[in-house]
Structure 1
Amino acid sequence: MRKHYLIEVAQNDQLVVFVPPAMLREKELTRLAFGSRSLEVDFIPHPDHDDRISISRKIQQALQFPSFNIPLHVFYDMQTLMIGPLVGIFTAGFTSLPLEPIGDRTQFFSKLLSVNKMVGAIPFVFGEQHIDWDLGTIKGYFYHNSGWESVDIPFPNVIYDRLPNRRSENNPRLIKVRERLQKEYLIPWYNPGFFNKLDIHERLIQDDTVSNFLPETLPFSSFSSIETMLSNHGHVFIKPKNGSLGLGVHQIIYDKHSDDYFCRYQDASGVNRLRKFSSLERLMATVFANQSLENMLVQQGINLLRSESRSIDFRVHTNKDDLGNWHVSAMAAKIAGPGSVTTHTRNGGDIKIMEEIFSTEECILYNERLSNAALLLSDALDQHVEGIIGEIGFDLGIDRKGEVWLFEANSKPGRSIFTHPELKDFDLLTRKLSIAFAVFLTEQSLLHPEGLFK
């Protein structure tokens, strides 16, 4: 287990750092670093403590170290002692409001940053407008003593991507910022990019360890392909390749006894609809009259477990820890709203913990199957997707035979399940792990940079 050290600031101007004596027995140290800043200093054994490091006010100013009284990790790079990590959380959507600097996502970021003492890191939030490229500094937003403050700090050790949507992700200015910080400054950047459903499916279907979790999924090409899937599975889902929050999802059901076609969807006014048609052509021409089908995919329908005649699927979060290992960090069942095509809460869905809807034996069985699937899928995505992944939110289903199915993998998972009072501890765990992974990346950037910057 890694040790944390309290960083004290002494009221003097000497370039002297007092460190636990054991550090100097192990290493010959000549420089102190914080983020992208370093300084040549003298290291002296601390006369009183082996759990803290004491720096002068002059060193603090030179390194632009914000003294928040947070125990931090130390890292060794040749003769340099690094304290941190300094973790930049990159996002967009800043406001001029001092109490809500990131708009309606301010509360999420305040909770995310509040794990700093538990993790032993200094996280801050910033956008592209806060970078001073000439000075090599960032005006970072910190959540400290229950309030927000902005402090000029060096470039961070690692960056956690929390851009809010695909529009900001595809903004040319923000793409340029990411590329520059990664390529010119060699800063590890984790969780870049939103997943494309079809792209993820095509990558995973070739992996024998996880292909059995994947329902048949095809880009929309013709009515005949939908007819074939309906004949094989009874119902299909048509959904946007880059959709989120269950928007734009349609379920098409074929009744072979009456030869009728049904479409379940949410209309533009938010009302759940179920409509009957005499042919697939008429259904498509009516329901999708004003939509482009080129950006849609068709997915096999699964006969899911049900609760009170409502379909159940599961949100399973996985995170990497400070050793770079995957963990299942949260799990919840989501029950579809009455007449809804999805289980999203905005469509009337309910969030339940497993124990609320399953017996003890079923809970043990389903927990094990869902956890095993999520960990296998996390490893597979790690191997087949570019960039550094630190967290994933899976939407999984279990059919009536007990088999697990992957519906979607989310690189920036929503957090609606954590509104359930029994999931508060898991909310905290996912936040802790998402920042703790930065500790691992900081260490890897020093020990094995070739593995991060391929």
Structure 2
Amino acid sequence: MRKRYTIEIAETSKLIVYCPQELLQDKVLKRIAFGSKAIEVDFIPHPKSRDSIVIGKEIQKLLLFPDFAIRLHVFVEEHVLNIGPLVGIFTAGFTPFPLRPIGDRTNFFSKLLSVKSKVGAIPFVFGEQHINWDNGTINGYFYHNHNWQTIEVPFPHVIYDRLPNRKSERNPKLAEVRERLQKDYLIPWYNPGFFSKLDVYERLQQDNSVAIYLPETHSFTSFSLIEDMLSKYGHIYLKPINGSLGLGIHQILYDKIQTEYYCRYQDRDGVNRLRKFSSLEGLFQTVLAQRNLDKMIVQQGIHLLRHEQRPIDFRIHTNKDATGQWHVTAMAAKIAGLGSVTTHARSGGVIKTVSEIFQKEECQLFTEKLKNAALQLSNSIANNMEGFIAEIGFDLGIDKHGDVWLFEANSKPGRSIFNHPELKDFDQLTCKLSMAFAVFLTEQSILYPEDVIQW
């Protein structure tokens, strides 16, 4: 069981650290470290306290330790007392406005940073422009006492990747920052990158324990592929391989009796459309002429459960905790908007709790099925994808037979479900565990660096 200690700042310039006797038993401590900064100090048993570590103003200055009264974790290795973790949250899209330094996402980051006392970590937000490579420091954005402030701190123990979109992820400058901090400074990153739908599908397909959740999926190759899948399933979905927010998704249906094709999609003006065609070629020439079909996938259509005649799918959030174990942290039902091809809010979708749309027995049954599937899928993705993955947002469906299907896994899930009043507590839980995993990863990187370093 890890123990946390209150870090107290004393008015002294001496390089002496007063710490509980239990930290000195059988250990010869010579240095104290915070993030990438470490200095030699003398260690003396604290005469009174069993849960406080006292450092002087000079040590605080040399370590660049913020003036926060907070209980932190301690990791002892190789005669070094590491206090922390110091967690860097890497993102882009900063603004010059002090009250909204990260624009529309400022509110999310303020919630994320507000869990520091509960978790026992010191998190901050930064971008590539805030790094001082020569000094090995970062001018990070901290949220403390309901205010944003910038504080110079050392390079962090670990970094949580919160780049906002694929465009920023592809930015060579930002990619270089990640590579440099990982390889030159050996700082572990978690939740790096956005998932590709096809990549996730192909990797999970190799795992027999989760293959049952996968709808048949292929990269687009020809009209004959679509004809074959329409004859097999009655309807299919065309999706961008790297899409998000439900953008660019088309549902194609085939009426065997009338031998007609239907296409449901959202047009460029945001209007939900359903159009009829006598041939598949005509459908593509009219609706999909401007699409790069080489970057689309074709996916089996599922006959989903419905609520008030509208299809339902489910958003499930999973997070790893401070011991590295997966938990389901949030679950919501998403009901498709009228005539919409997806359940996204921007297409008229509505968020409900699972208990709002199912009777008690059904609710328990479906909740258990969705939880089990999400945890199995989380473990499989974490084991089969590169990097440290500590949170996932799943879009899962349940068909009319009660079987669970995976539609999408998101490494940086949207947070629209937390607008529902009954899901606000789960919003904080996902933030808490996102930071709690940093404690686990920091401990692993200090005690077992050979298992953590990503060459």
2:9 counterpart residue number: 9
Question: What TM-score does the superposition give when structure 2 sets the normalisation length?
Answer: 0.99
Percent identity (aligned)? 67
Stretches of structure 2 lacking an aligned partner (at least 5 in a row): none
CA-CA distance at 1:26 after TM superposition: 4.2
Q: Secondary structure at the match of 1:134?
A: coil
Residue identity in the other structure for 2:7? I
Is residue 31 of structure 1 aligned with residue 22 of structure 2? Answer: no
2:410 counterpart residue number: 410
2:148 counterpart residue number: 148
Residue identity in the other structure for 1:345? A
Q: Secondary structure at the match of 2:185?
A: coil
Question: What TM-score does the superposition give when structure 1 sets the normalisation length?
Answer: 0.99
Q: Secondary structure at the match of 2:439?
A: helix
2:290 counterpart residue number: 290
Q: Secondary structure at the match of 2:408?
A: strand
Residue identity in the other structure for 2:106? T
Q: Distance in 1 between matches of 2:449 and 2:353?
A: 41
2:432 counterpart residue number: 432
CA-CA distance at 1:383 after TM superposition: 1.3
CA-CA distance at 1:48 after TM superposition: 1.9
1:202 counterpart residue number: 202
**Structure 1 segments of 4 or more deviating over 2 A?**
none
Residue identity in the other structure for 2:257? H
Equivalent residue runs for 1:298-313 within 5 Å: 298-313=298-313
Q: Distance in 2 between matches of 1:77 and 1:95?
A: 40
CA-CA distance at 1:453 after TM superposition: 2.0
CA-CA distance at 1:24 after TM superposition: 1.4
| Residues 375-429 of structure 1: CA deviation (Å, up to 9, x unaligned) | 1111111111111101000000000100000000000011110001101111111
1:66 counterpart residue number: 66
| Residues 165-191 of structure 1: CA deviation (Å, up to 9, x unaligned) | 001001111111100000010000000
1:87 counterpart residue number: 87
Q: Secondary structure at the match of 2:25?
A: helix
1:315 counterpart residue number: 315
2:448 counterpart residue number: 448
| Residues 24-44 of structure 1: CA deviation (Å, up to 9, x unaligned) | 124221111000001111111
Q: Secondary structure at the match of 1:285?
A: helix
| Residues 41-99 of structure 1: CA deviation (Å, up to 9, x unaligned) | 11111122111111000000000000211110000111110110000000001111111
Equivalent residue runs for 1:353-364 within 5 Å: 353-364=353-364
| Residues 304-353 of structure 1: CA deviation (Å, up to 9, x unaligned) | 00000000000011100011111111111100001100000111001010
Residue identity in the other structure for 1:41? V
1:184 counterpart residue number: 184
| Residues 212-233 of structure 1: CA deviation (Å, up to 9, x unaligned) | 1000001111111101000000
Equivalent residue runs for 1:6-405 within 5 Å: 6-405=6-405
Q: Secondary structure at the match of 1:59?
A: helix
Residue identity in the other structure for 2:339? G
Q: Secondary structure at the match of 1:118?
A: helix
Q: Secondary structure at the match of 1:107?
A: helix
Q: Distance in 2 between matches of 1:25 and 1:77?
A: 13
Q: Secondary structure at the match of 2:83?
A: strand
Q: Distance in 2 between matches of 1:129 and 1:252?
A: 46
Q: Distance in 1 between matches of 2:214 and 2:73?
A: 41
Q: Distance in 2 between matches of 1:250 and 1:206?
A: 27
Q: Secondary structure at the match of 2:361?
A: helix
CA-CA distance at 1:248 after TM superposition: 0.3
Q: Secondary structure at the match of 1:224?
A: helix
Task: Give RMSD over aligned pairs.
Answer: 0.8
Q: Distance in 1 between matches of 2:258 and 2:450?
A: 62
Q: Distance in 1 between matches of 2:67 and 2:75?
A: 19
Q: Distance in 1 between matches of 2:414 and 2:235?
A: 27
